[in-house]
Amino acid sequence: MSPLLGAARPALTMLTEEEQMFRDAVRDFATTEIAPRVLKMDEAQQIDADLIPKLFEMGLMGVEIPEKHGGAGSNFFTSVLIVEELSRVDPSVAVLVDVQNTLVINALLRWGSEPVQARYLPRLAADTVGAYALSEAGSGSDAFALSCRAARSGDDWVLNGQKLWITNAREAGLYIVFATVDPEQGYRGITAFLVERSRPGFGVGKHEDKLGIRASSTCELVLQDVRVPAANVLGEVGKGYKVAIETLNEGRIGIGAQMIGLAQGALDHTLAYVQERKQFGRPIADFQGVQFQIAELATQVEAARLMVYNAARLKDAGQPFMVPAAMAKLFSSEVAQRVSSVCVDLFGGYGFTKEYPVEKLYRDAKIGTIYEGTSNMQKQTIAKSLMGD
C-alpha cells in the first residue's frame, strides 16, 4: 500500500460518506492543479493568477454562502476539510481560501443585513476575494488599540488610517476594515466597514517579504479620506469588537485546519522518503529509531485533527466553541512546527534544501503560532475560561 494511503491518513469513521467524497475531490484538485505550481509560487511570492478562478469554479471560495446567492450552501466543517486538504499541498493557497470562508463570509453571514448579503455574497461566491483588515502597527495582540479612524460625513463614513499584515490584500476586491468612530469609547468605539477596493483613496501598499507562506499576500493597506456608505457598516456602529472577536473564534479553527493539513503533508512526504532512502544496505524505515519517530508524529497529528474537527462540529451544532477553538489552534500550531521539524531531520541533508517539499512546510509552519491570535493569547483565553473569568 502506498504510504500516502496508509496508516497516516485520518480515520474515515470521522467523516460521512458525502464528506469523504468531497474531501477526495479537493485532494485530487490540490494534487493536479496546485502541486505543480507550489515551488514557483513560493519563489515568486505570489499565487498563480490562473489558479484563483479555478478555486471559484470548484466552489471552494463560497462554501457556506447560501445557494440562492450562488454559493455551495454547505457548513463550516466543510470549510475546515477544504483548508486541511489544500494545506497538505500548499498552506499559502489554503490560507487564501480560509480567510475567504472562515472570516469574511462568516462575518457577512452573521452580521450583514439582507441588502448587504444580496450585494456582496454573490460576488464572493463567483469571483471576488475577500480580506479581513484588523491589525495595525500598534494593535497586534492588543487588537482594539486602533489608530484607524472613521468619521461621519452626511450619509457616508470617511476612513483614514493604515492597516498592516493583511492576508489576501493583493488579490482582494472587498475588505472588512475595522476603525474607531470614538477613541474615548475604547473598544466600544470600534466599527466594522465593508470597503471595496475601487473606493477613491484606498490603496494596497507594501508587500511583506515573509519567512513562510510566501505565496500568500500580506500587505499594508492605506486609507486616505475613503468614503464608505453608511449601509456598508457591518453589524452596528460601535459593535465592531463583537464582529472581530466572534469571527476570530471561528477563524482560529480554520488556522487549526491549516496546521493539521501542513503537518499531514510533511508526514506523507516523509513516509514515502524513509521507505526509499537506504543507509547501511536497507531503507531507513526499517530502523526502529525512525519507526518510533514516525509513530509519535502520526499520533500527534491525529490528536490535533480530533481537536480541530471537534471545534468545527461544535460550531456547526450551535454549541459553545470558543475554548475548544483556542485549544485546537494552540495545539495544532505547535504540532505543525514539531512534525515539520522532525520531518526535515528524517530527510537529513536533503531536508535542508528546496529540492524537497518539507523545507517549505517547515517554514510555513511558523506562522501558526502567531496569526489569528498568538499562542500566548490562546493560553490566556483557555486559562480565563477555566478560572471562570
- For the chain, 389 residues long, give each residue's pLDDT as a single digit of tens: 333 334 445 444 478 888 999 999 999 999 999 999 999 999 999 999 999 999 999 999 999 999 999 999 999 999 999 999 999 999 999 999 999 999 999 999 999 999 999 999 999 999 999 999 999 998 867 767 899 999 999 999 999 999 999 999 999 999 999 999 998 898 899 999 999 999 999 999 999 999 999 999 999 999 999 999 999 999 999 999 999 999 999 999 999 999 999 999 999 999 999 999 999 999 999 999 999 999 999 999 999 999 999 999 999 999 999 999 999 999 999 999 999 999 999 999 999 999 999 999 999 999 999 999 999 999 999 999 999 87
Which one is catalytic: 85, 136, 220, 372?
372
Q: 174, 340, 171: which is closest to 259 by C-alpha? A: 340
Task: Specify whether 299 is located in the same domain as 358.
Answer: yes
Q: 171, 176, 174, 247: which is closest to 216 by C-alpha? A: 171
Domain boundary among the residues 181, 206, 239 is at 239
CA-CA distance, 105 to 84, in Å (whole number)?
18
pLDDT for the residue numbered 99: 98
Task: Specify whether 246 is located in the same domain as 377.
Answer: yes
Handedness of CA 70, 74, 76, 77 (dihedral sign): negative
Task: Specify whether 254 is located in the same domain as 381.
Answer: yes
Domain boundary among the residues 218, 239, 260 is at 239
pLDDT for the residue numbered 141: 72
Task: Specify whether 255 is located in the same domain as 177.
Answer: no
Task: Specify whether 225 is located in the same domain as 246.
Answer: no
CATH of the domain at 246: 1.20.140.10
Q: For residues 254 and 102, is the Cβ–Cβ distance under 8 A?
A: yes
CA-CA distance, 289 to 329, in Å (whole number)?
29
pLDDT for the residue numbered 3: 37
Which phi and psi angles does 333 have, rounded to 5°?
A: -70, -35
Task: Specify whether 187 is located in the same domain as 219.
Answer: yes
pLDDT for the residue numbered 125: 98
Handedness of CA 253, 321, 381, 327 (dihedral sign): negative
pLDDT for the residue numbered 6: 40
3-class DSSP state for residue 363?
Answer: helix
Task: Specify whether 332 is located in the same domain as 265.
Answer: yes
Task: Specify whether 213 is located in the same domain as 335.
Answer: no
Domain of residue 104, residue span:
3-129
CA 121 to chain centre: 19
Please state the domain count of the chain.
3
3-class DSSP state for residue 162?
Answer: strand
CA-CA distance, 132 to 104, in Å (whole number)?
6
Task: Specify whether 92 is located in the same domain as 185.
Answer: no
CA-CA distance, 163 to 177, in Å (whole number)?
8
Q: 334, 330, 335: which is closest to 380 by C-alpha? A: 330
pLDDT for the residue numbered 2: 36
Which phi and psi angles does 299 have, rounded to 5°?
A: -65, -40
Task: Specify whether 249 is located in the same domain as 371.
Answer: yes
Domain boundary among the residues 110, 129, 148 is at 129
Residues 349/350/352/355 CA torsion (nearest 10 deg) = 160
Task: Specify whether 381 is located in the same domain as 256.
Answer: yes
How many CA atoms, within 13 angstroms, populate the side-chain half-sphere of residue 242? Answer: 9
Does residue 372 have an active-site annotation? yes
Q: For residues 163 and 150, is the Cβ–Cβ distance under 8 A?
A: no
CA 363 to chain centre: 16
pLDDT for the residue numbered 8: 46
CATH of the domain at 114: 1.10.540.10
CATH of the domain at 209: 2.40.110.10
Task: Specify whether 36 is located in the same domain as 109.
Answer: yes
